[in-house]
Structure 1
Amino acid sequence: MRKVCSVLFVLTFMVTVFTGCSNNNLYTNKTTVENSVSTQTQAPEQAGQSEQTQSSDSSPAAETGNSQTAPATDTKGIDVIDYTKVKPNESGQIMVVMFHNFVESYPKGNNEYTTTFDEFEKLLPELYEKKYRLISLTDMLNNNINVPAGCIPIVFTFDDGTSGQFNMIEKDGKLAVNPRSAVGIMEEFYKKHPDFGLQGTFYVNLGVKTFQGSGNMTDRMNYLIEKGFEIGNHTKTHVSLPQVKTVQKMLEEVGGNQVLMNEIVPGYSFNSFSLPFGNASKDLKEYVIKGNYQGVDYKHSAVVLVGANPAPSPVSPKFDPLALPRVRSTGQKKVECDLAWWLDTLGKGSSQYVSDGNPETVTVPKDKQKNVDMSRLNGKQLVTY
């Protein structure tokens, strides 16, 4: 892990620094930008046909699939993003951050996976000033990333369903989120900065205590879902998967958690799975991805790891949703490859995902076009500059 992080750290010093996020200086008239190239691929359902690209003109080169230069503007000539100032790179890395415990102050012992509320309150404005914007894990998986030009998407995930992450209290005779919880802090920051977003995925073990506090489990889950948060599978009792030796036990842990979710919120299906302790099953991994338990089907589009690196872009050839790396939150002591380390490292280069502000296009520098898997564009237009 240390070697991988060190290599990535060196590479970031070899690239240029991006600028801008929803800044008026990022726009230009169509006559001033000359070096963008646009191509378009077929949607995934057409993958059986021969892959073609479409240029912005009808020249013979375009008909054969060769890219053609064209101004970075729409056909009506209105002002658009100046790529030379924004420097979008939508083939870059995205941090999927992994949080666990939230506390008022650090207890004695090992607190590497623990964050204080005060630190979390300081983290959100820091991310905002560094131009990060929250997106959901599902939108990342679907390459449905919609943040302003020059901004950087980031995903929050929370493991274990601890009360510090979220719990409810009685207020004026009604249930409300505890302001001294991660969700409460995020909601308060969202009121002041709605453009930051209010997203996150909570990986729960419904066979053990989850989000302890006021209200029942239906109250708690419905609150999160209605706010736009996602709920993910973390097994029924937080079992280490390599210790599970039979198909029946694996189905009970993975599928059994979905059965409990159906009882709490009927019809809600987990879309992703987080490996407890970061440990994968070698022999029964197929039952982690999909299966049927007590007549209930389950299927996970993504499996998130306990890792130390940002994830590849969803258009990258290296993108594997069933082995999605995460960046661990910073604990009591800063360590190499934690969130603080990556914020510093990625901020010195352009290896991370920077948005072009248009969810219908995927824009990359010309020298990074090789980092785009055309079959992953899902019908979006590829633009290079």
Structure 2
Amino acid sequence: MKRIYAMFLALTVMLAAFTGCSSNIYTGKATAGDSAGTQAVASATAADTASATASDTAGQSSQTAGTSENSQAAQASETKEVDVIDYSKVKPNESGQIMVVMFHNFVEAYPKGNNEYTTTFDEFEKLLPDLYDRKYRLVSLTDMLNNNINVPAGCIPMVFTFDDGTSGQFNLIEKDGKLVINPKSAVGILEEFNKKHPDFGMKGTFYVNLGVSTFQGSGNMADRLSYLVDKGFEIGNHTKTHVSLPEVKTVQKMLEEVGGNQVLMNEIIPGYSFNSFSLPFGNASKNLKEYVIKGSYQGVDYKHSAIVLVGANPAPSPVSSKFNPLALPRVRSTGQKKVECDLDWWLKTLEKGSSQYISDGNPDTVTVPQTRQNNVDMSKLNGKQLVTY
């Protein structure tokens, strides 16, 4: 009887080791012997076999040793509390879509004319708590590209991007002889919101044209870009002068626009390399596209891991077979008039279905429903363990 009991304990502990545990949403506290601890099942058959073998060995050792140390370990296994995700409630789907949101202009009030790419400060202030309540959490574009997404269980990653380097997105002002963030800017509003909700995240990528005015305000360009980088934001390439790429007909001109922007960045923040590129006007180059991805200009090499589009769709998960970082779609922010496929539309549409990325809370695993296992490209797991339920 003792041998059977010891084998049961050992098997239970090994199964618990394969659960995708989270730090936020659980069934509650469960002891190691509870059936909730066996909900997560590793998809790799080899891992299951190893677990069973280890359990048998542990059971035999427990029977023959009979020491007080083994007895204490067995008692600890009975009483130790483990955090277990209730998949029926959390419903993680890390093969789902992720919204990469595209912002442009931020203003106090809408001017006359077409304002489809413009957001008021008041609307942005209202958007952030709405996203938070819907369980969205910000992640960096680089972390998304690398499948390094780490948000609490049940939460949904989102990426913020900002094109053109406008002052409404971010600028500095002087206060008491010091340069400080303008509270009436997107970054200022985001900073203030994160004081109350630090788990929301202070992430985003700013696509800049350093050959023209960028983040107009107080301070110089080094002050401005250093502020963003020090806060954890990323700076991306948007060409030197916001040229439409199809109009660029020579290799030299393309290198000047794409590589020249990187040269200017190095002059402002030495050693900082753009990791991604945003297509000006959403227009791609047909004949010179390889020079948008990588090249060398004036002795400075550049290489972009991602090319973001002005598309109207959420992006595939980084573990999806459909994920292509060199053609990454974005969802445009809601403008003065709500239109199909803008952010407001997608928030409502994705909420109705189960196609978006929902985290399991464990950065070391990729958890998906069994019905969506075929959506996962095993070569893109980046060392993580696939878990199905």
TM-score by length of 1: 0.86
For residues 112-157 of structure 1, the C-alpha deviation after alignment (integer angstroms, 9 at most, x for no partner) is 0000000000000000000000000000000000000000000000
Distance change >3 Å, CA 235–CA 37, structure 1 → 2: same
RMSD over equivalenced CA pairs, Å:
2.1
Hey, what's the Cα distance between the residues in 2 that align with 1:39 and 1:298? 39
Query: How much does 1:209 deviate?
Result: 0.2
Higher helix share: 2
For residue 42 of structure 2, the aligned residue among 32, 38, 41 is 38
CA distance in 2, matches of 1:370, 1:152: 21
Determine if contact 2:23/2:361 at 8 Å carries over to the other structure: no
Task: Could you tell me which runs of 5 or more consecutive residues in structure 2 were left unpaired when the two chains were aligned.
Answer: 1-21, 54-76
**Conserved? CA contact 2:100–2:161, under 8 Å:** yes
Distance 1:222 1:241, change over 3 A: same
Deviations 1:208-239 (A, max 9, x none): 00000000000000000000000000000000
User: Per the alignment, in what secondary structure is the counterpart of residue 97 of structure 1?
Assistant: strand
Runs of 4+ in 1 over 4 A off after TM superposition: 24-30
Partner residue, 2:172 = 168
Distance 2:81 2:25 in 1: 20
Seq. identity, %: 80
Alignment length, in residue pairs?
343
1:332 alignment partner AA: Q
> Given residue 316 of structure 1, which amino acid in structure 2 is its aligned partner?
S
Alpha-carbon distance in 2 for matches of 1:344, 1:271: 31
Report what 2:48 is aligned to. Answer: 56
- Structure 2 residue matching 1:157: 3-state secondary structure: strand
Report the structure number with the largest CA radius of gyration. 2
Matched with 1:65 is none
Q: Could you list the per-position Cα deviations for residues 160-186 of structure 1 after superposition, in whole angstroms to 9, with x for gaps in the alignment?
A: 000000000001110000000000000
Question: Aligned to 1:251, which of 248, 255, 270?
Answer: 255
**Alpha-carbon shift at residue 56 of structure 1 (Å):** 3.1
Q: Secondary structure in 1 aligned to 2:235?
A: strand
Say if 2:187 is the partner of 1:183.
Answer: yes
Could you say which residue in structure 1 is the equivalent of 2:292?
Answer: 288
In the other structure, the counterpart of 2:279 is 275
2:131 pairs, out of 127, 132, 141, with: 127
Cα offsets for 1:232-253 (capped at 9, x unmatched): 0000000000000000000000
- Partners of 1:91 and 1:150 lie apart in 2 by 14
- Structure with more contact order per residue of length (Cα contacts < 8 Å, sep ≥ 6): 1
Deviation at 1:84, TM superposition (A): 1.8
Q: Secondary structure at the match of 1:203?
A: strand
1:72-115 deviations in whole A, cap 9, x for unaligned? xx9x8722212222100000000000000000000000000000
SS of the counterpart of 2:242?
coil
- CA shift, 1:26, in A, is 6.3
Q: TM-score, normalised by structure 2?
A: 0.85
In structure 2, the CA distance between the partners of 1:324 and 1:188, relative to structure 1 (3 Å rule), is: same
What is residue 359 of structure 1 aligned with on the other side?
363
Is the 2:26–2:84 contact (alpha carbons within 8 Å) kept by the matching residues of 1?
A: no
Deviation at 1:60, TM superposition (A): 10
Is residue 2:154 matched to residue 1:147?
A: no
Contact 1:29 / 1:80 at 8 angstroms: preserved in 2? no
1:56 is paired with a residue whose SS is helix
Alpha-carbon offset, residue 299 of structure 1: 0.2
Structure-1 residue corresponding to 2:353? 349
Using the TM superposition, give the Cα deviation of residue 25 of structure 1 relative to its aligned residue in structure 2, in angstroms: 4.2
